[in-house]
Structure 1
Amino acid sequence: MTESPEPPAHLAHLKGMDLVRRTLEEARGAARSQGKDVGRGRSSIPRKVAGNSRRRWSGPGPDSRDPQVFAAATRDLARSRGWSARVAEGAVFGRWQTVVGDQIASHATPTALDEGVLTVSAESTAWATQLRMVQAQLLAKIAAAVGDGVVNKLKIVGPVAPSWRKGKYHIAGRGPRDTYG
Structure 2
Amino acid sequence: MSGSEGSPKTPEPSGVDLARVALRAAKEAARARGDAAQQKSQARRGGGLRSGARRDGRDPMALGSAINRLITERGWETPAAVGGVMGRWPQIVGDDLARRCVPERYDEDERVLHVRCDSTAWATNLRLLAPQLVARLNEDLGHGTVQLLKVHGPGGSAHRYGPLRAPGSTGPGDTYG
TM range (shorter): 0.5 to 0.7
Instruction: Report how many aligned residue pairs link the two structures.
Output: 116
Counterpart in 2 of 1:146? 141
CA RMSD for the aligned pairs?
3.4
Whether the 8 Å CA contact 1:91–1:146 is kept in 2: the answer is no
Counterpart in 1 of 2:96? 103
Give the whole-Å Cα distance in 1 for the aligned partners of 2:156 and 2:174. 6
Distance 1:68 1:140, change over 3 A: farther
Whether the 8 Å CA contact 2:158–2:170 is kept in 1: the answer is no
Counterpart in 1 of 2:29? none
Counterpart in 2 of 1:179? 173
What's the offset of the Cα at 1:136?
0.5
Whether the 8 Å CA contact 2:104–2:114 is kept in 1: the answer is yes
Q: Flag structure 2 segments of 5+ consecutive residues without an equivalent.
A: 1-50, 54-60
Counterpart in 2 of 1:48? none
- Which protein has the larger Cα radius of gyration, Structure 1 or Structure 2? 1
Counterpart in 1 of 2:154? 159
Counterpart in 2 of 1:130? 125
TM normalised by structure 1 equals 0.51
Counterpart in 2 of 1:82? 75
Give the whole-Å Cα distance in 2 for the aligned partners of 1:144 and 1:75. 21
Identity of aligned residues (%): 36
Q: Flag structure 1 segments of 5+ consecutive residues without an equivalent.
A: 1-54, 58-66
Partner amino acid for 1:104? L
What's the offset of the Cα at 1:85?
2.4
Deviations 1:19-40, CA, capped at 9 Å, x for gaps: xxxxxxxxxxxxxxxxxxxxxx
TM normalised by structure 2 equals 0.52
Partner amino acid for 1:180? D
Which structure is higher in helix share? 2
